[in-house]
């Protein structure tokens, strides 16, 4: 295979890469279903062969345990590939739709065509998953793709480049390593779609750059995802599932519970159970646990430790800058206007806010930006329906955390400030495809009524139109 694309620093070099991908796309090879399936199989095989290198790379970047890396980075991607291979023929098949009387005799259908050359900008928190899962969708839809991994996860970036470079020619899929300069150079180019995962600030920059070329975008931006626990919830299961969802990858997960809204009558027993769940998962000293991750870098470490003083610490609070370690931490008596409630935490710190009235709690959530995820724990089906119908979020899970991301039958994406567009499964195929309408008409009959000069009375035209559309 050609050498890996990396360290692109000039517009000319980037332009050449994009043009090579466009030329290959115009050859028509990627439109063939057999070609697409073969690319997905080659990607699957390359991931399987490079599994040990990928795991080690993520471990070096984030200090994560092997089983967690395989499950959340590799396993989900392999599931995406398997799902796409199983359903691709059905997704890509033209769909026949009805044809109104005015267009008879004739037929109508929707054909799904690839968009062209797409750009995937991945984040550092799940640096392999969030680069390759969108790639699966892009390849299934028949596109060429350029991936820009995060420079903040350099080991995974290099491993990703090695895996992709060993499977694809650059004109099919290319990895561009580097930092801000490389990202800016890429954003100067015209792509047919851009999928970005990251923070809202950079998301605005990506969207502004895309607007110059009228390029459609999918933005996965995160946000402050609430976790509501009602007084009738199963507290034992709620505590264990909240602790898992929050402290997975040391809280560096875009759909992690960002703050805990708990009914005041069960706040103490719930937090006590969460403390026990933390100890059961990571032991009395999480720093010594092989199953607890580390903070990505010093910058994020300092930002997070600065938030710990926002209220009384229920548990945790310990940190070690050299080890990039912050203990699983619960902070009590947090106010809605405290600094910790201003932005997404993206770390192992869980603020606790008590409420007495569910409607008032929902009003508080509604007054803020729409989150990427929302979690609600309650046995009451009426309350479950009330929350899921009233509150808006990218996705909602009742009586668990993260489940809405894991199900490949569901679209994954944000709403409002937490993002736009979606992928996973068929939603990803649709994102990277154009649903092209096609109408085929007979050459006869060809009534003169639709051509000028117009002589048919308007009343007759209205009557015919109303009954034939």
Structure tokens at 124: 């550092």
Per-residue pLDDT in tens (0 to 9) along the chain, 469 residues: 433 344 444 445 899 999 999 999 999 999 999 999 999 999 999 999 999 999 999 999 999 999 999 999 999 999 999 999 999 999 999 999 999 988 999 999 999 999 999 999 999 999 999 999 999 999 999 999 999 999 999 999 999 999 999 999 999 999 999 999 999 999 999 999 999 999 999 999 999 999 999 999 999 999 999 999 999 999 999 999 999 999 999 999 999 999 999 999 999 999 999 999 999 999 999 999 999 999 999 999 999 999 998 789 999 999 999 999 999 999 999 999 999 999 999 999 999 999 999 999 999 999 999 999 999 999 999 999 999 999 999 999 999 999 999 999 999 999 999 999 999 999 999 999 999 999 999 999 988 888 999 989 999 889 988 888 8
The pTM of the full predicted model, rounded to 2 decimals, is 0.95
* Distance, CA of 249 to CA of 185 (rounded, Å): 31
* Distance, CA of 404 to CA of 394 (rounded, Å): 9
DSSP state of 72: I
To 10 degrees, the CA torsion angle through 36, 40, 45, 51?
Answer: 150
CB contact set of 198 (below 8 Å; sequence gap of 6+): 121, 123, 220, 221, 222
Structure tokens at 289: 């646990």
To 10 degrees, the CA torsion angle through 132, 136, 138, 141?
Answer: 180
| In the block, residue with structure tokens 């390593």 | 177
Output the DSSP codes for 187-202: HTS--SEEEEES-HHH
* Distance, CA of 5 to CA of 175 (rounded, Å): 6
**Residue positions annotated with a catalytic role:** 220, 254
- Enumerate the domain spans of the chain: 11-221+420-433, 226-413
User: Looking at domain 11-221+420-433, what is its CATH homologous superfamily?
Assistant: Aldehyde Dehydrogenase; Chain A, domain 1 (3.40.605.10)
DSSP state of 339: G
Q: Which residues pair with 114 in a beta bridge?
A: 433
DSSP run (H or E) holding 81: helix 76-92
* Interior angle at CA 285, CA 310 and CA 239, nearest 5: 65
Nearest residue to 168 via CA among 15, 24, 16: 24
Output the DSSP codes for 87-147: HHHHHHS-EEE---GGG-SEEEEEEEEE-SEEEEE--SSSTTHHHHHHHHHHHHTT-EEEE
Torsional sign, CA 62, 65, 68, 72: positive
Count of Cβ atoms closer than 10 Å to residue 144 Cβ: 29
Output the DSSP codes for 232-286: TS-HHHHHHHHHHHHHGGGG--TTS--EEEEEGGGHHHHHHHHHHHHHHHH-S-G
The pLDDT value given to residue 468: 82
Largest interatomic CA distance in the chain: 88
Domain 226-413 grouped into CATH 3.40.309.10: yes
């Amino acid at each position: 295979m050609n050498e890996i694309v990396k360290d692109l620093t000039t517009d000319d070099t980037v332009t050449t890469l994009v043009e090579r991908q466009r030329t290959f796309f115009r050859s028509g090879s990627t439109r063939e279903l057999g070609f697409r399936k073969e690319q997905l199989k080659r990607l699957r095989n390359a991931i399987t062969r490079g599994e040990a290198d990928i795991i080690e790379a993520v471990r070096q970047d984030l200090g994560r345990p092997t089983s967690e890396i395989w499950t959340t980075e590799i396993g989900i991607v392999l599931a995406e590939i398997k799902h796409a291979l199983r359903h691709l023929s059905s997704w890509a098949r033209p769909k026949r739709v009805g044809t109104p009387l005015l267009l008879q005799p004739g037929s109508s259908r929707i054909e799904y065509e690839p968009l062209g050359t797409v750009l995937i900008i991945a984040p550092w928190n799940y640096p392999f998953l969030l680069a390759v899962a969108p790639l699966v969708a892009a390849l299934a839809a028949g596109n060429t793709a350029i991936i820009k991994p995060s420079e903040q996860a350099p080991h995974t970036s290099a491993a990703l480049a090695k895996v992709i470079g060993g499977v694809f020619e650059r004109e099919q899929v290319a990895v561009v390593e580097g930092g801000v300069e490389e990202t800016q150079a890429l954003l100067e180019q015209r792509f047919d779609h851009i999928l970005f995962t990251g923070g809202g600030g950079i998301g605005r920059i990506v969207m502004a750059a895309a607007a110059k070329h009228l390029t459609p975008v999918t933005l996965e931006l995160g946000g402050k995802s609430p976790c509501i626990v009602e007084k009738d919830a199963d507290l034992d299961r709620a505590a264990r599932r909240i602790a898992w969802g929050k402290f997975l990858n040391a809280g560096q997960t875009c759909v992690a519970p960002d703050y805990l809204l708990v009914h005041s009558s069960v706040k103490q027993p719930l937090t006590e159970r969460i403390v026990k769940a933390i100890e059961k998962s990571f032991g009395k000293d999480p720093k010594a646990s092989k199953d607890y991750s580390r903070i990505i870098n010093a910058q994020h470490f300092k930002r997070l430790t600065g938030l710990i003083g926002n209220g009384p610490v229920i548990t945790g609070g310990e940190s070690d800058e050299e080890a990039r370690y912050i203990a699983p931490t619960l902070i009590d008596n947090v106010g809605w206007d405290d600094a910790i409630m201003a932005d997404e935490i993206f770390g192992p710190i869980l603020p606790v806010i008590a409420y007495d009235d569910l409607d008032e709690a929902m009003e508080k959530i509604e007054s803020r930006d729409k989150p990427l995820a929302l979690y609600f724990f309650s046995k009451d089906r009426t309350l479950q329906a009330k929350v899921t119908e009233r509150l808006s979020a990218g996705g909602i899970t009742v009586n668990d955390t993260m489940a809405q991301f894991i199900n490949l039958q569901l679209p994954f994406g944000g709403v409002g400030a937490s993002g736009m567009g979606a992928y996973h499964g068929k939603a990803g195929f649709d994102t990277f495809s154009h649903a092209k309408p096609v109408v085929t008409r007979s050459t006869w009959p060809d009534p003169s009524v639709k051509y000028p000069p117009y002589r048919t009375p308007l009343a007759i035209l209205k009557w015919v139109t109303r009954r034939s559309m």
